[in-house]
Structure 1
């Protein structure tokens, strides 16, 4: 029997959160993507705030066939997401921003 798991997530919220290891000059950024409908984490990576780290996260999202990405206005998102699939703004990133605040507490 051939069982195939189909990953589906029509819309995703993506964000990065500033943190550090040991001292503030040793910055690390947890990046994560949430399913916009269910609020479930679908992928995450850790690294610097660099395009290469975002591209790593984006590659993890490929199997989900996401048609719409919601982000803030950080440049990596604009550089690596198709304009027709990308919406910048706070209106649709409230859930992920709230999660960031809860994680800091």
Structure 2
């Protein structure tokens, strides 16, 4: 899920993986839209022993996921898209034209991280 800080040239991406059956967030990374962010997320998911990945058609997935374990398409990504809508509704920093709009990358990432930790992972930091 992408958002930006200040202007669209300062894009921030929330990379997160959810369990396909339960919809629970397994891991997340706040970073830019580069392969390194996906590699970091993939490393965080290794302890889970995930056998199948459902993604959109972004190039990093093809570069770092084996073809038999990777399915591309919208049919299996509905839960994560719904979660994105919930984030945009509940976190006003993700909506433009509000007084809550982020002006620094650090605060943007802190607010998103706190929300995911508290409401998705069920733990306060």
TM-score tier after normalising by the smaller chain length: 0.7 to 0.9
Q: What corresponds to 1:8 in structure 2?
A: none
Q: Matches of 1:34 and 1:74 in 2, distance apart?
A: 17
In 2, Cα distance between equivalents of 1:76 and 1:58? 11
Q: RMSD of the TM alignment (CA)?
A: 0.8
* Structure 1: tracts of 5 or more residues without a match: 1-16
**2:76 matches 1:92:** yes
Match of 1:53 among 13, 37, 52: 37
Aligned to 1:25: 9
Higher fraction of strand:
1
Q: Which residue of the other structure, out of 64, 75, 84, is the alignment partner of 1:80?
A: 64
Runs of 4 or more, structure 1, over 6 Å off, are none
Shift of 1:22: 2.5
TM-score (structure 2 length as normaliser): 0.69
Compute the TM-score of the two structures, normalised by the length of structure 1.
0.81
The alignment covers a number of residue pairs equal to 89
Can you list the C-alpha shifts for 1:63-98, whole angstroms capped at 9, x where unaligned? Answer: 000000000011111111010100000111100011
